[in-house]
Structure 1
Amino acid sequence: MKIPSAILVALSLTAVASADVVLAPLFTDHGVLQRDQAVPVWGTADAGEAVTVSFAGQSVSTTADEAGKWRVDLAAMPVNATGQTLTVNGHNTLTLTDILVGDVWLCGGQSNMEWPLRNTTDADTAIPSANFPLIRHIKIERRIARDPLTTATGSWTVCSPETVPHFTAVGYYFARQLHAELGVPIGLVNSNWGGTPAEAWLPPAALEDLDILLAATSHQAYSYTGIHANLVNYQEKLAAWEADPENVEKPSMPWRPGAENHSLVLNNGMIAPLAPYGLKGVIWYQGEANADQPETYRTLFGAVIESWRDQFEQPELPFYWVQLANWQPGGIGWAFLREAQTQTLELPHTGQVVINDVGDPDDIHPRNKTAVGDRLARVALRRLHGFDIEDTGPTFASAILRDATIELSFTHAAGLHTTDGAAPKGFQVAGADGVFHPATAALTPNGTIKVTSDAVSIAHFVRYAWDGHLEVNLVNGDDLPAAPFRTDRL
């Protein structure tokens, strides 16, 4: 039987009328909204659908555009540690419960940021004591995408001994310290993926800049050239093993990158759906996957920072990161990557923590994440909240050459000492030939360090902690470690 066209039109209008309004992925029960700044709330609905968002005495209305997208901005709100209800009314009604107002931090990077609390040195004591209902955490599910997405999977979780083992460890220790000092709710948005390079976290717009595009493609090409060489080497070793399995050890297949290592795909899948959620700042732990070509990292990392600021519509969004830890297999490439990280401090509203004293020379995933989170919290407390504390370890300031001796001065060096009471370690000296040799260092009464090497009669250059791993012990009065440096490029 043919259905009359009038009935088809009526059915079509009914379908449109029953379509659901949908919220962006970070808006779920138990969430945290950013205090003291306008709060974007957005989602999708039918084109032309009227949408009203109500929260904390505010009620803001808008109409979905032709693409079905809508957004309102709630006026800035003070801290509120009492869970409130957020409602969205369109053709349907959405009700979110237990929504707090505090500080929200995006935790980005690769595996050392992703590393869960349950696998850290202090887990046995940290987990049972994690009764912090005002700390909230959302883990964004891994997802790659060719084009920017609007959806993502994850839900806010209230911190407790039962839930905290799965939190980002660095993020948790950071949040715990901030919450202890500020007394405000803290939200952690855990969006990261192990083994991924910086360029995977760039949005498409970033590659419109030729310098950034060249850096990204250069690193990708360099990485795949190395991977090809590794695979050829593996084939040769495998053939030798197959020919003589009793006397030749069977080789292991070398690491190969997955689709998640390509430019843009992680930003498209795991950052784009989150923006422009209101944030207090970003903490970042990444760089291992770019250490094979550190010369491109300054450009790529800076582009990540600037492009995320654009995406979240916060041009002064604080961005604090962790310098790579000590790891023996990293070799000197890690030293140059750390240098690129330090150079990125030229961007405003940035900060860096040094952890060359708490890494593991044999493990790319050091288990002491407590110090990492606490040091990041120090940076935030000093730079955002005005705490009168030190957040930086001894930092090279100047060098005076006196024949075989180089005398070094530092900033952030009040209470300069060594952790074990021994002479400072980790220094190298070179003559005019640029060949570096292990050096002997000594603290002076006036707070400088004198460095010499028996192999160098006229010293020209000095380096400190300049390798994947060199044993170091130099700290300031707050036990913050000295940052790696070199004078052969100054």
Structure 2
Amino acid sequence: MAQTSIVTGPAPGSTLSDATAGDAHSAQSDSATARRNERANFSVAAVFSDHMVLQRHQPVTVFGTATPGAFITVSIALSSEESPMSSGSALTDQTGQWTITLPAMAASAAPHRLAVTDGTDAIVFDDVLIGEVWLAGGQSNMELELRNSLHPESTMAEAFDPLLRFYNTPKTGSIDLDAENASGWELCTPDAVGVMSAVGYYFASTLRNGLAAERSDDMDGVPIGIVDCYIGGTSITCWMGRARLEESEAGREYLDRYDQKVTGRDLDEMRHEWNRWQVDFNAWNANIAAAREVDPNATWETLNAQYGECPWPPPMTPFSQYRPCGAFEAMVSRVAPYTIHGVLWYQGEEDEAYCDRYRFLLGEMIDEWRGLWNDASRGNGRDISGPVHAQLPFLIVQLPRWIARTDVGRDSFHWPVIREAQMDAARTIDDVHTVVTLDCGEFDNIHPLDKQTVGERLTAMALARVYDEESVVADALRPVNGPAAATITADGADHLIVTFAHADSLHFGHYNGDALGTDVDVPLGEPIDADMLPAGESGFAVVDEHGDWHTAEARILDGHGDTDSVPSVMVWSNDVPHPQGVRYGWFSWGPAPLFNEAGLPAEPFTFSL
């Protein structure tokens, strides 16, 4: 897609459900073939299929719909045995919903069989494993598929792991039974893994290695399952319910903007408008893809001059996945409460224009999702030793650096506010952790291709903060936090001293400052031969008494007075005789050269004296 400040998704090459073609009635469409998870009087949610992974150490929730009052039984057994390991039954309620919870089970790579029956008909799922399950959610940077990430050929060619599996939730803004029927869990093979979230894949594959200490004679490590649940170009409000949004001023503002665009409009007219946009959008993407094949280094100025600006945003409709609540109603509510260990969340780009609302909405979304997954009962029925958190863990990817070429020189400074909201959530909400990726962005490309670094940092955070340390290999317990500003003090009239935590071997290092498509030849964080950087290269700025910010020089100190042995940086500007505050990385795009011994980037921050 064209990289401008208003274009945030979908990710290049991504595909959308047929429901996005404007069929608002897809939930009622007739299918020429029998639906895999339906029988005459009951159904099982589409997220259950052959090859799925069930969460270990926690009670497993199985759910679906049936004739009110129907008696449903769920059982699980080893495929090699007739007698079930465990089973449970429940009556369907008056709304036609049923939920059954099976007791917690230990990890197992042996194929299991999960059966659901109403006493007359049955649905049986084969090749079911028990291990770790995470949901990968958000917008286009979580959506970016492995086949479209940096150097995918070698990764995909070697990606054969029968214990790593994924489920792609159909991407739609209205329930699409046909798309759900066509969906199903996939094994990690070179032919299948290309359409998996690249972040999700690298997280899962490194988590498999991180949990390798749990290998046994009958299990080659812990099975890992990823539920992909994302759509590019979606606001955080797309992933929340209307009732929750209506409770706050911030939520109502999003709803009001949406309602103004659709109220009183003819549905057929909106469907026609959507279909027309979809044709234009598909044609534009095809042209760009073809041009990229011919010239991978073509600039966006050249591409836009030849093919025009990307037709974005799409028209707003009641069936659009880009509307508030759309993805929540048609995706999240369709997979919840499939038992998971935690959520990987990479989103925020679409909300930059309303960045001052993002922290509140992020907290509200986390709280709402935790309610869907019934946190209060997450530990009930546990009979297997293992880590279970009282709150559903969220691992958030902090937005990297980015700016469109057309916006150089007129930074809106919205992205730093989003980044601070993401970090504040980690500081103030239990079982929420944020990984810094300030060094991973690409100039003029809102979809940076290096998703391996992102996935591996998420894994390191999960191993250190979510899993019991005793269950992971020693080298997985490496640092997971980059340098974080701890204190700021004045050193005379003109200099400020910033001390840092998590800053062993604090140094200036390399970061990805190259343009779209340029390989990263030097590892991120690799030290450079300098302990002082001039203004404009250090990433630091200081503020004068009038509130104006100036780029600053910075020197790393080995020890300074009372801060002896505490990692510190001296910051100053010759244009600011009495600095009133300091910030680092507080821009959409700019230098981010500060790293620690582990090669992790410093957190962006802003401090006042």
How far off is 1:298 after superposition? 0.6
How far off is 1:410 after superposition? 1.1
Distance change in 2, residues 1:26/1:250 (3 Å): closer
Equivalent runs, 1:185-204 vs 2, <5 Å: 185-204=223-242
For CA contacts below 8 A with separation 6 or more, give which structure has more relative contact order: 2
- Specify the SS of the correspondent of 2:417: helix
- Whether 1:382 aligns to 2:464 is yes
How far off is 1:223 after superposition? 12
* Alignment partner, residue 74 of structure 1: 102
* Alignment partner, residue 130 of structure 1: 159
The one-letter amino acid paired with 2:350 is A
* Alignment partner, residue 438 of structure 2: 356
* Alignment partner, residue 312 of structure 2: 255
* Alignment partner, residue 81 of structure 2: none
The one-letter amino acid paired with 2:451 is K
How far off is 1:160 after superposition? 1.1
- Specify the SS of the correspondent of 2:558: coil
The one-letter amino acid paired with 1:28 is S
Which deviates further from its counterpart, 332-341 or 201-210?
201-210
How far off is 1:348 after superposition? 0.9
Conserved in 2, the CA contact under 8 Å of 1:148 and 1:267?
no
- Whether 1:325 aligns to 2:363 is no
Aligned Cα root-mean-square deviation (Å): 2.5
The runs of 5 or more residues in structure 1 that have no matched partner are 1-17, 225-247
- Specify the SS of the correspondent of 2:100: strand
How far off is 1:222 after superposition? 12
Mapped partners of 1:219, 1:64: distance in 2: 39
The one-letter amino acid paired with 1:390 is P
The match for 1:371 among 449, 453, 468 is 453
* Alignment partner, residue 351 of structure 2: 290
* Alignment partner, residue 116 of structure 2: 88
Conserved in 2, the CA contact under 8 Å of 1:24 and 1:151?
no
Which deviates further from its counterpart, 164-173 or 336-345?
336-345
- Whether 1:46 aligns to 2:67 is yes
How far off is 1:47 after superposition? 2.3
* Alignment partner, residue 458 of structure 1: 578
Distance change in 2, residues 1:304/1:151 (3 Å): farther
Equivalent runs, 1:207-356 vs 2, <5 Å: 207-214=245-252, 216-217=254-255, 252=309, 255-258=312-315, 259-314=320-375, 316-329=391-404, 331=411, 332-345=413-426, 346-356=428-438
- Whether 1:107 aligns to 2:136 is yes
* TM-score normalised by length of structure 2: 0.70
How far off is 1:344 after superposition? 1.6
* Alignment partner, residue 87 of structure 2: 59
- Specify the SS of the correspondent of 1:360: coil
* Alignment partner, residue 529 of structure 2: 421
* Alignment partner, residue 547 of structure 2: 434
Distance change in 2, residues 1:44/1:220 (3 Å): closer
Equivalent runs, 1:147-162 vs 2, <5 Å: 152=180, 154-162=183-191
* Alignment partner, residue 171 of structure 1: 200
Conserved in 2, the CA contact under 8 Å of 1:222 and 1:293?
no
The one-letter amino acid paired with 2:331 is M
Conserved in 1, the CA contact under 8 Å of 2:246 and 2:252?
no
Mapped partners of 1:51, 1:435: distance in 2: 67
- Specify the SS of the correspondent of 2:161: coil
Mapped partners of 1:452, 1:254: distance in 2: 45
- Specify the SS of the correspondent of 2:399: coil
How far off is 1:389 after superposition? 2.7
Mapped partners of 2:261, 2:425: distance in 1: 22
Distance change in 2, residues 1:169/1:450 (3 Å): same
Which deviates further from its counterpart, 157-166 or 122-131?
122-131
Distance change in 2, residues 1:205/1:103 (3 Å): farther
Identity %: 35
Which deviates further from its counterpart, 459-468 or 167-176?
459-468
The runs of 5 or more residues in structure 2 that have no matched partner are 1-38, 78-84, 212-220, 263-304, 377-390, 470-476, 510-527, 560-566
Conserved in 1, the CA contact under 8 Å of 2:173 and 2:323?
no
Distance change in 2, residues 1:221/1:371 (3 Å): farther
Mapped partners of 2:374, 2:261: distance in 1: 33
* Alignment partner, residue 502 of structure 2: 412
How far off is 1:216 after superposition? 3.5
Distance change in 2, residues 1:47/1:386 (3 Å): closer
- Whether 1:184 aligns to 2:222 is yes
Conserved in 1, the CA contact under 8 Å of 2:162 and 2:189?
yes
